[in-house]
Amino acid sequence: MEQRRDFIKKITAAGLYASAFPYISYGAYNSRLDDSPLRIALIGRGGMGANCARTALRVPGVKLVGVCDLYQARLQLAKEEWGADVFTTREYKDILSRGDVDAVIVGTTDHWHQQISIDAMKAGKHVYCEKPVIHKISEAKDLIKAQEESGCVFQTGSQGMSSIGNRKAKQLVQSGAIGSVNLAEAAFTSAPRRPCRIPEDLSPNDIWWERYVMNSPQVAFEPSRFLCWRLWLDYGTGIAGDLFVHVLSSLQYIMDSPGPERVYTTGDKDGIGDTPHIMLSYFDYPAHNEKKPFKAALTANYSDGVSRRWGSTNFLIIGDEGTMRVEWDRVTLNTLRPASATDFSGLPNIGNGIDKPQQINEREWVFVEDNYHNCHYDHFVNFFDGIRKKTKVDGDVLFSVQTAVPAVLCLDSFHQGKPALWDPVNLILK
């Protein structure tokens, strides 16, 4: 009975803590607190960039005024989808010089994320930047400095962290529902990678190649390096920066952790590009905020087309008193000891169904939000609220760096054949 009372006290305390939403002060930019639309522009209209723009436009009071891409065909697609009056250009600085742009979505290749974000904030534009927000560790502090000096709102595009499942998981972990966390696990699998598909009529005139490679090794025009850039270290961060960073963002949000201090990765390359198609990465998280140290194990196998696991939407957190399987719209809680509905009554409401756990048996409970709209939508609402209301965004610039660095360190460890050591608080390599 004493353990049960302690558990309830922890939940109630966590509920009071979670109900407070901190105010954050930003600089003297145009905060757009009136009823006029927030005017956004998209820089990088690839698959994810276009998806981001579509989701952003679902939020009331948002208007797309410009699109930039180095590939001429994508600019034509932008006009076809969003209207002939949308300004299009190959030069991102044309977007930043416009007075009718309040915020930009940076959906480019990884090796342009930091530079475009810094230039945008210097121009007074708020930034939603796809993950990872840096391509190299050396880019981290300059990105943070640019945000601090500009006062602009900055948010990383790890949309899963804003899911209602993550928010419920954070409540449960902080309340002690599974005791002290010791391990998190996630896996990604996919059918074997195939050579990049290149349009037969593609020519050097279609892509502004000189601009694309301006801040990377100067190589001759090679379409696969542009259209399948994630396979190349010069432009991307491989599986770790594409996929692992989603789990790292969710995990560090849930655990309220600044990041791991040790990363070790092994894996294999399949000859397509120069990034691994199989990766096994291990992360050592130190004690923080009265929480004990814990580990994380993230794996990916792009030669497994059968198991169909996708860690960013389904991962496991293990504690000494239970486990939680976290998905975007639900959390499945298994406890070591029997629990009852009253054990969860102290948690503040964050949705509808997810606040009313379904009992499977005395040790298994499911928190599920029926007809959940979309965590990508929630993430953009959080970003636009940060601009309009000056409220704290969940994936601010410091958080963005603290979740991007471990992903980049995965590749460093893989290539060096040894663990990478990192100080996540002071942001320095050891």
Q: Which stretch of DSSP H or E encloses residue 170?
A: helix 164-175
For residue 22, what pLDDT is reported? 31
User: What average pLDDT does this structure show over 270-291?
Assistant: 95
For residue 143, what pLDDT is reported? 98
| 4 has a pLDDT exceeding 90 | no
| 410 has a pLDDT exceeding 70 | yes
| 156 has a pLDDT exceeding 70 | yes
Catalogue all structural domains in the chain, each as residue range(s) with its CATH number.
Answer: 2-18+161-193+227-373+402-429 (3.30.360.10), 20-160+392-396 (3.40.50.720)
| Mean pLDDT, all residues of the chain | 92
Q: What is the pTM (predicted TM-score) of this model?
A: 0.92
For residue 200, what pLDDT is reported? 86
- Rounded Cα distance, 310 and 151, in Å: 36
For residue 311, what pLDDT is reported? 95
Outline where DSSP puts E strands in 330-385.
330-335, 358-361, 364-368
User: What average pLDDT does this structure show over 398-422?
Assistant: 98
For residue 6, what pLDDT is reported? 56
Which tokens go with 235?
Answer: 């432009």
User: What average pLDDT does this structure show over 64-70?
Assistant: 98
For residue 15, what pLDDT is reported? 43
Percent of the chain, pLDDT > 70?
92
For residue 154, what pLDDT is reported? 98
| 25 has a pLDDT exceeding 60 | no
| Complete DSSP assignment for 158-205 | -GGGGSHHHHHHHHHHHHTTT-SEEEEEEEEE-SPP-PPP--TT--GG
pLDDT in tens, 112-147: 999 999 999 999 999 999 999 999 999 999 999 999
For residue 351, what pLDDT is reported? 92
For residue 28, what pLDDT is reported? 32
User: What average pLDDT does this structure show over 3-24?
Assistant: 42
Q: Which of 152, 94, 142, 156 is nearest to 121 (CA)?
A: 152
- Rounded Cα distance, 233 and 392, in Å: 33
- DSSP-assigned beta bridge partners for residue 314: 327
Dihedrals φ, ψ of 420, to 5°?
-105, 130
Give the confidence band of 34 by pLDDT, cuts at 50, 70, 90. Answer: low
For residue 195, what pLDDT is reported? 84
Give the chain's count of helices (H) and strands (E): 13, 17
Which letter does DSSP use for residue 235 in this model? T
* C-alpha torsion 32→37→43→47, nearest 10: 130
Residue indicated by tokens 């963005």: 400
Per DSSP, the three-state class of 113 is helix
Which tokens go with 392?
Answer: 């704290």
For residue 26, what pLDDT is reported? 32
| 2 has a pLDDT exceeding 90 | no
Give the confidence band of 8 by pLDDT, cuts at 50, 70, 90. Answer: very low
For residue 5, what pLDDT is reported? 44
pLDDT in tens, 243-273: 999 999 999 999 999 999 999 999 999 999 9
For residue 196, what pLDDT is reported? 87
- Rounded Cα distance, 282 and 291, in Å: 19
Q: Which of 263, 264, 261, 318 is nearest to 288 (CA)?
A: 261
pLDDT: is 7 or 305 the higher one?
Answer: 305
Identify whether the C-beta of residue 225 lies closer than 8 Å to the C-beta of residue 202. Answer: no
Q: Mean pLDDT lowest for which of 5-9, 209-213, 263-267, 336-340?
A: 5-9
- Rounded Cα distance, 302 and 15, in Å: 41
User: What average pLDDT does this structure show over 58-68?
Assistant: 98
| 69 has a pLDDT exceeding 90 | yes
pLDDT in tens, 330-374: 999 999 999 998 899 889 999 989 999 999 999 999 999 999 988
